[in-house]
A = this chain, B = another copy of it.
Amino acid sequence: MNNFVYFNPVKLIFGKGTITSLSEVLPKDKKIMLVYGGGSIKKNFVYSQIINSLKGFDFVEFAGIEPNPAYETCMKAVEIIKAQNVGFLLAAGGGSVLDAVKFIAAASKFDGDPWNILAEKAEIKSALPLGSVITLPATGSEMNAYSVISKKATNEKLAFYSQEIFPNFSIIDPEATYSLPIKQVINGLVDTFVHTVEQYVTFDVNSPLQDRQAEAILKTIVEISNDVINKQNDYESRANFFWCATSALNGVISCGVPQDWATHMIGHELTAFYGIDHAQSLAIVLPRVWKHNIEHKQSKLIQFGKRVFDIKGKDSKKTAQKAINKTEEFFQSLGIKTKLSDYGIDAKEAAEKISKRFKERNTKLGEKEQLTYKDIKNILKKC
């Protein structure tokens, strides 16, 4: 395996009734900003439990973070933080809210134009401390130091990383997922699955433990997905789903192995240009990225197909192909459409637009940086 550094100081508080522990982990000596989205946390017990736990704390609310959180919205929060001397950020909601809070935390302490945090990967020397009550199993944002932010003005969607933006704590009560729209639940299953394969279906570096840790998540997602979708108030399947989502992106399965992320990078552009959901973009792009790279990824695709989907067969390209088809069928079985045309998007046009952007940025994608803008164009044409 490759050398690696693993560091993840997030305190994860997981289970039924855990939101009440907020009062024990929040700082008593700082003004807190409670940040949330469109008010979904008011449709269940989350908002009221948080407000209850905040009794005796000095806090202000900031609502209105949108899905694919906007740079413009985040900067409004930064203004209030500076004006009101806020010292701690509490995110409540899904990954979008938490991603926004991570960016707000960094931008509040940043000298210069905060857009450079995203566009130039500018160094972040410090950030406001933050914590989260996370209600959506999907992004893994609750236990990592990544954030993805969109700029409305330019249709850009960019990610950044900094050890300064690890949440101090994240609280997960799986019961908070009962009131989620089913579309978001399905998106979360796809997101978790694709996060995992981005760190696993690459090339072999002799990492049997990490491979099996990734397969553990994938097999569990396949096994529980039916219950997760069809039993809305089933604590066990929702808890297992949430722990899979968190485990897929907390850094454990990526220790010492190559990572791909081409599907995510291309998918982000589809969301930025056409507004389709993140998970939809992944379900469309992943099978075509894999087909394009089938020779390169063959041995991992075969292992994945055999271990996760119980595919039988020789160690051949045909078996790798079966693994790709089976993955697309799995997404479809969840009710996710896997073609751009299903969303009224012209594949040729998308291929031109998006590959142009990668050409301009001079970025190559994939675990060996093997995909040029020309490859990306070919991949998108087949989407």
Shortest CB–CB separation between residue A196 and chain B, in angstroms? 11
- A209–B71 Cα gap in the complex (Å)? 36
Residues in chain B near residue A208, CB distance under 8 A:
219-220, 223-224, 240
Residues in chain B near residue A18, CB distance under 8 A:
3
Residues in chain B near residue A306, CB distance under 8 A:
none
Q: Are B209 and A217 in contact (CB under 8 A)?
A: yes
Residues in chain B near residue A15, CB distance under 8 A:
1-4, 256
Residues in chain B near residue A12, CB distance under 8 A:
5-7
Residues in chain B near residue A243, CB distance under 8 A:
1, 209-210, 255-256
Shortest CB–CB separation between residue A201 and chain B, in angstroms? 17
* A212 sits at the interface (CB 8 A): yes
* A8 sits at the interface (CB 8 A): yes
Interface of chain A residues 1 through 37 with chain B (CB within 8 A): 1-18
Shortest CB–CB separation between residue A181 and chain B, in angstroms? 24
**Size of chain A's interface in residues, with CB distance under 8 A?**
41
Q: How many copies does the complex hold?
A: 2
Closest residue on chain B to residue A208 by CB atoms? B220
Shortest CB–CB separation between residue A61 and chain B, in angstroms? 27
- A12–B9 Cα gap in the complex (Å)? 11
Closest residue on chain B to residue A5 by CB atoms? B13
- A209–B217 Cα gap in the complex (Å)? 6
- A243–B6 Cα gap in the complex (Å)? 12
* A247 sits at the interface (CB 8 A): yes
Shortest CB–CB separation between residue A334 and chain B, in angstroms? 18
| Chain A interface residues toward B at CB < 8 A | 1-18, 206-210, 212-213, 215-217, 219-220, 223-224, 236, 239-240, 243-244, 247, 252, 255-256
- A-B CB contact pairs (8 Å), 7 listed: A2-B15, A4-B15, A5-B14, A208-B240, A209-B217, A209-B240, A216-B216
